Structure 1
Amino acid sequence: MKGTQRAIPPLPEVTVPAPVALEILPHWAGVEGIDLPLSFDAGDGDLQRSRAKVDAFVGLACGKPRGIRRSRLYRLLDRHLGGKIIDGEVLEHLLSALMQAHVDVADRARISIRFEHLVRRAALRSDNRGWRAYPVLIEATRGIQGFRLVLGTEVTYSSTCPASAALSRQLIQQQFADDFDPKSQLDHATVMAWLGSERGILATPHAQRSTARLRVRFVDGAPIKLIDLLDRAEQALGTPVQTAVKREDEQAFAHANGSNLMFCEDAARRIQNALLLDESIADFSIRIAHHESLHAHDAVAYANRPDGLAPLL
């Protein structure tokens, strides 16, 4: 009848109960790739706003529901993270809210946050400065064992192969022996001219862009100091990639490479030793990859804290 209002039935809910008994439960259920703005202080007081990708999951403890209510996950992520300053306290409250929203089915929760953080870096010798973007991964979990937070990042650096350097030096020695009679009297100017010629650098060792992937778990209550972690790793390696450079910076970088010959195992040990000196780090894992210019494959090494509970990578 015209003008008569029709009653709107309640919207269907198909997540509960399950149509049949479920004998096998998924371990986790949630969402991935949620876009959110957030603010982050890397430990230097420079609060930056970034676009992040966020994953959120709850661990299922019983088979009552057919599915979880993912709209709740989204709303909680937006409420707790959207535009907020990210720290351990904020993340712990978010995880508690995720579990409370699914208190009848979930006994744990976890989130992953991925974004990039810009750091201003000085040149090696000149007065230039430039920006480096470092990937950041923050993983937080809450369950029977309590709250746990892991910070991940990646350092890009140059690695020069020690074996290739030794082979190159041998070729240069052989070229010197071919060019000069061992019985002849060589003056300083002649040797200096030869060293400055292309024959004096007949061979060069192979070097490549390399990456160190780090994941660390801080002691309870410690702040998330990304800058300190990056500085420790880069100083241990000695050859982090540069931003703005002039010729004097490039020369200094060449000297750093020649003074820091390393296999991937050497790089892993250097960072491992550096992180062991940081009392704010409770556990860590390291993955080193030298993306070789000699081979079409990578040279890879892993390291972790010797007394750590388990590798984090």
Structure 2
Amino acid sequence: MNDQPLPDIAAQATHHDLPLDWVGMAGIALPIRLADAAVTATADIGVSLDDAGARGIHMSRLYLAAQRLVHQELNVPAMLQVLDDCLSSHQELSDSATLSLRGEVPLKRPALVSPLHGWKTYPFELHARQDGRGVNIELQVEVAYSSTCPCSAALARQLIQQRFAETFATQPMDYLEVLDWLGSTQGIVATPHSQRSMATLRVRLAPGCVDLPLLAFIESAEQALGTPVQTAVKRADEQAFALANGQNLMFCEDAARRLHRALRQLPQASAFRLKVVHAESLHAHDAVAQSRWNWN
């Protein structure tokens, strides 16, 4: 057995004196817990290489630091401990450390009317950075919803009015006859177009946050929009969804403003930016709106 110490090539000096902004590992698989759900996330973890003469960093130390997060509930103190480990294990080499996590968190969502429920996944990202200026943590989530075009709805109503006038203008109206007509394809001759839409919301957490406000983030967005996509549905749920769409007509501009107002109410947010994309069923292109607050 060879008792000689193993060579540490990374500790050697480099022939190219140059600091590097970031060196680390990307795509590390990490089983974590987020919002009381088991999540398989991928992590990017790294540090700056500020010592221009050092050949490299200690990759294995970063990997071991990331393992602190395995199977535990992810929160701000846990992320900060990982960043501290990265910097303490790279003293005199690095002045900043970053940790990024990506995955999809599954949440159980009830139907609108019936006792059914189903599971919906929400893609998320977490980005944490610690350097000489302090700590910065950002949380991003994607929320899918339905959007019905207000212009299309108005045009559909006009066509229904025209057909009503054509049908009943020259004859006395009978209540039951009109009621039947309203429930027929002859009466409702047009419907507005709607589309599955996506909101991407990124929040910079306020100082003092301990828990990651993912659930509050999602609930606030879905309540503001009023038409989150559904999971398991019966006909009563589908009808309730149609009603929700009819009561929440919105352009992409409307959706962005609703979300902006909702996020401004979150005490955990010190800044945010958002983007909504309406994948239009009328056009072969998307309608997009963006907004931000206190973001620089």
TM-score, length basis structure 2: 0.93
Q: Which amino acid aligns with 1:273?
A: R
Question: Are the equivalent residues in 2 in contact too, given 1:268–1:302 (CA < 8 A)?
Answer: yes
What displacement does 1:85 show? 2.3
Aligned residues: 295
Structure 2 residue aligned with 1:255: 243
CA contact (8 A) 1:207 1:293 kept: yes
Is 1:168 aligned to 2:162, yes or no?
no
Report how far residue 60 of structure 1 moved: 2.8
> Which residue number corresponds to residue 7 of structure 2?
11
**CA shift digits 1:131-178 (9 cap, x unpaired):** 222122121110122112111111111000111111111222222233
Aligned match of 1:33: 27
Q: Work out the CA distance in 1 between the residues paired with 2:181 and 2:95.
A: 73
Taking only the aligned residue pairs, the percentage that are identical comes to 44
Q: Which aligned segments of 4 or more residues in structure 1 are displaced greater than 6 angstroms?
A: none
In the alignment, which residue of structure 1 is the partner of 2:174? Answer: 187
How far apart, in 2, do the equivalents of 1:12 and 1:141 lie? 28
- Whether the 8 Å CA contact 2:272–2:295 is kept in 1: the answer is no
The 3 A distance-change label for structure 1 pair 228 and 21 is closer
Tell me how far apart the structure 2 counterparts of residues 168 and 59 of structure 1 sit (CA, whole Å).
Answer: 58
Check whether the contact 2:148–2:245 (CA below 8 A) recurs between aligned residues.
Answer: yes
- Name the CA distance, whole Å, in 1 between partners of 2:3 and 2:176: 102
SS where residue 204 of structure 1 aligns?
coil
SS at match of 2:187: helix
Residue of 252, 268, 277 corresponding to 2:256: 268
One-letter code of the match for 1:179? Answer: T
Cα 1:32/1:157, change in 2 over 3 Å = same
How far did 1:218 drift?
2.5
* Aligned partner of 1:154 among 142, 153, 177: 142
SS at match of 1:198: coil
- Tell me, in whole angstroms, the C-alpha distance in 1 between the residues paired with 2:96 and 2:3: 40
Q: Which moved more, 1:87-96 or 1:125-134?
A: 125-134
Tell me, in whole angstroms, the C-alpha distance in 2 between the residues paired with 1:6 and 1:281.
Answer: 56
CA contact (8 A) 2:49 2:57 kept: no
Shifted more, 156-165 versus 166-175: the winner is: 166-175
1:92 to 64, 76, 80: 80
* Shift, 1:261, TM fit: 0.4
Structure 1 residue aligned with 2:226 = 238
Q: What is the alpha-carbon distance in structure 1 between the residues aligned to residue 207 and residue 85 of structure 2?
A: 20
Match in the other structure for 2:50: 61
Q: CA deviation at 1:203?
A: 1.3
Is the contact made by 1:64 and 1:105 (CA closer than 8 Å) also made in structure 2?
no
Name 1:52's counterpart in structure 2. 41
Deviates more, 1:80-89 or 1:265-274: 80-89
User: Separation in 2 of the partners of 1:55 and 1:153?
Assistant: 17
Counterpart-to-counterpart distance in 2, 1:140 and 1:32: 14
Question: What amino acid sits opposite 1:70 in the alignment?
Answer: M
| 2:212 paired with 1:224 | yes
In 2, Cα distance between the equivalents of 1:77 and 1:299?
39
Q: 1:176 to 1:299 in 2, by over 3 A?
A: same
Cα distance per residue 1:107-150 (max 9 Å; x no partner):
11111111222222111111112222212212111012211211
Secondary structure in 2 matching 1:115: strand
1:140 aligns with 2:128: yes
SS of corresponding position for 1:106: coil
Judge conservation of contact 1:159–1:257 (CA < 8 Å) in 2: yes
Residue 273 of structure 2 corresponds to 285
TM-score by length of 1: 0.88
2-side partners of 1:189 and 1:120: how far apart?
Answer: 43
Structure 1 stretches of 5 or more lacking a match?
none
Structure-2 separation of matches of 1:231 and 1:99: 36
Q: Tell me which moved more, 112-121 or 247-256.
A: 112-121
Letter in 2 for 1:195: L
1:129 aligned partner, one-letter code = H
8 A contact 2:33–2:39 mirrored in 1: yes
Change over 3 Å in CA distance of 1:148–1:202 after alignment to 2: same
Aligned partner of residue 255 in structure 2, secondary structure: helix
Q: 2:198·2:276 contact (CA, 8 Å) conserved in 1?
A: yes
TM-fit CA distance, 1:9: 7.5
- SS state of the match for residue 20, structure 2? coil
